[in-house]
Amino acid sequence: MISGLLLIDKPAGITSFDVVRRVRRALKVRKVGHLGTLDPFATGLLPLALGEATKLAQFLLEEPKTYRAVLKLGAETDTQDLTGRLTRESEALPSPEEIYQAAGRFRGEIDQVPPKYSAVHHQGTRLYKLARQGEDVEAPPRKVVIHRLEVEDIATPLVTILVECSKGTYVRTLAHDLGRTLGCGAHLVNLTRLAVGPFRLEEALPLDEVEKRENAPSLRTHLIPLARCLPGVKAVHVDRTQAQRLAQGQTLPWPGLDSSEGEKVRVLTDGELVAVAAVRTQGVQPVLAPLRVFHQAFANQERPEHPAGPAAQGKPQAGGL
């Protein structure tokens, strides 16, 4: 089974699920999922999880994302981007100094109201479905973090910004809110994702190049293996016997582990990822409690027999996909 991350440079005009569907068909891989939706008009980095890498989605989705965005001042739309209907215009545009000052107010933790045309649920129904039915429903604000916001270029009425943000941030809403702060309104006209955590757009393959391949093995040199998918997570190395225990959903005593309660670690054997585990305390010593286990580590030998517990079946004991 082929497992790992495949970095795709998504073209404009198709959905993220279209990319998943086309890669699944081209490479003949059954399990494929994307790590963070890009709107159809957006381009850039779309990491795809293949095979057992889909079990890592819950951890990878927490990674911050970096975008280059172009917003147009003086006009608002109902979708907050160029695909929507014009709802407001203004001829009075701010000075560059005002733009720089306003941008500074959006750095750090902020409250953001998800756009009405979004996949956020309201009483079991997606907001965009309610909006298309003419229902004016506003989701409650939620906390997001803007780690970095730089104004890269001003060519009035266009402003280019570089944004690094937390999971759940809507960049088109950021553009909309920045326009409201400036008093002239704004909407997003271009969006490119540059990075997801440690992964960069420069490493990605164009979708059409992937579709030229005959099968997944032909892309092995481009696949990021499971062991390298969480480079920011501490690694713990175990032997095969210990790996088998984790794969059966059992905790593994690990005295002397310099980690805090609840911290996640990568558990490796012979360079292969065995599990993502959480550090727990049992009695007076720390143990590794498996959250996700990966049987690819045992591909060249017999799998553990009679796995017990939810972790052995690819289901987390804490959290979930």
What's the topology of domain 233-313? Answer: 2.30.130
Backbone angles phi, psi at 231, to 5 degrees: -65, -20
- Distant-in-sequence contacts of 87-91, Cβ < 8 A, 24+ apart: 88/185, 89/185, 90/183, 90/184, 90/185
Q: Does the active-site annotation cover 208?
A: no
pLDDT digits (tens, 9 = 90+) for 194-219: 999 999 999 999 999 998 876 667 78
pLDDT above 70 (res 103)? yes
Query: What is the C-alpha to C-alpha distance for residues 188 and 67, in angstroms, rounded to an integer?
Result: 12
pLDDT digits (tens, 9 = 90+) for 260-308: 888 999 999 999 999 999 999 877 788 999 999 998 777 644 444 444 3
**Is the separation of the CB atoms in 154 and 139 below 8 Å?**
no
Q: Which two tokens stand for residue 260?
A: 């805090």
Q: Where are the CATH 3.30.2350.10 domain residues in the chain?
A: 4-63+198-227, 65-196
Say if strands 158-165 and 142-155 run parallel, antiparallel, or are unpaired: antiparallel
Residue 281: closest CA among 264, 260, 265: 260
CATH class of 65-196: alpha beta
**Given 9, 18, 39, 208, which residue is catalytic?**
39
Does domain 4-63+198-227 sit in CATH 3.30.1540.10? Answer: no
Q: Which residue has the higher pLDDT, 123 or 185?
A: 185
pTM reported for the whole predicted model? 0.85
Residue 59 — pLDDT band, cuts 50, 70, 90?
very high
